[in-house]
Structure 1
Amino acid sequence: MKIAIIDDEPYSREEMKHLLKKYSWIEVVGEASSAEKGLEIILTKEPDVLFLDIEMPGMSGVELAETLQKMKHKPEIVFATAYPDYALKAFQVDAVDYLVKPFDEEQLDKAVERLKKVVHFETKEETKSLGKLAVQDEDKIVFIKPRDILYISREERETFICTEKKKYTCRLTIKDLETKLNTYPFFRVHKSYLVQLPYVEELIPWGSGVYQLKVHGANEAIPVSRNYVKELRERLEL
């Protein structure tokens, strides 16, 4: 996971770099003392995540976050600031978390766990193999990356793998796929559906404790069995 730190205080940048060293799968790819310089790092280094201060000379962290909303592939944001009063503004620009200085290691652990759920990256364990899934596309076999899967469904005796581009068929059962994909953030919401949590956008009541899911990039509404609703909400909510 590639991280950039944007903070006008050198000590705070050094402290954050020190704290992040304990996560072997995190790489700090750049740091900047202003939002303007940070924007250069974002465009050249393409970090997955920004640890972003709010009060800085010139452009503020919130203003930078608002600018990034226009990007097609914007980095996730964790605000790291001495000012707790900006929390509401931070989450209005879809921040993953909000850390208040001086940094608390336990709070940082929780923020990192949240990042693991929303950022698509491959740990060393996952890259020991190519980690691609074989699916059927008409008369040929196609290999797709698990992180590109929106959801998986089972109809009668056939399994379907749905990506943003296309729906494929697969010879494996949902149970088999759940086991194969256990290092990715998939969740069983129904006996016939497995969804990748970062793509979930809406949970819609459907009567009698039953819900439907709206998944980014998919037109189909996905049923959620009442037995899975509580755990699903716990996995999705902060």
Structure 2
Amino acid sequence: MERTLPAAARSLSKVLNPTARRFLACRRTPLRPIAACPPPHGPSHRQLHGTAIRKHASPPPKSRDRGPASTEDTQTDFGALDVLRNTTTPATAIDACMHNGFALNNQTRILGSGVLLVGGEAFRWRPWLDERRTEGTVADGAVGDDAMTGRLKNAKGLWEVHHGAWGILDLVWPKPDLLIIGTGPQVTPIAPAVRRYLNDLGIRLEIQDTRNAAAQFNLLATERGVHQVAAALIPLGWKEGR
């Protein structure tokens, strides 16, 4: 025997909760406002949880004894994670940045000037000397070029040296991929003309203060090789003068 829709709804309402029965009764009345119909899920709506709810936290351990020390030989050796531990440090790595110069890893000291590290070689570097001045000391008849003072900033306060200071980079081949410039005790932005000149040689630049520039050169020269990374460093005791 076929059952009509109202009869099926009445049979279904007998097994539903009171809220659902009110909702079905509202739906069967077409003239009743929709706003008056109660929602299918009222305050008595229940949520199902797949896991049991813990009413109390687990008690703290009675002892901190973890048993005897492990004798396994599979423990992680964090010293083995140093991928450069078996790599030889370059002889031109900076061992110390001093007030008036630098100490290299090969026990060489360069005093009274900066240093230019290219292709595994170290060169005394005085970019503050004007091209028209003669390098030397007062005893040699010069005008005190051994003093670490001069001008490395242009009128706009940017770090700028003449192109002749980069002469070794014009001659060396293959040229380094990266040049790290240490501008002295603090970071000084370099002039666009200097960046353009070195970029035209195919060399990328990294500008830092001298201490951080030396540390970065040591790391990258050890990792990538001295032919890929070069450095141009100004001593920490450098003073901008006239």
TM-score w.r.t. structure 2 length? Answer: 0.28
**Bigger radius of gyration:** 2
Task: Give the number of the structure with larger relative contact order, counting CA–CA contacts within 8 Å between residues 6 or more apart.
Answer: 2
TM-score w.r.t. structure 1 length? Answer: 0.28
Higher helix share: 1
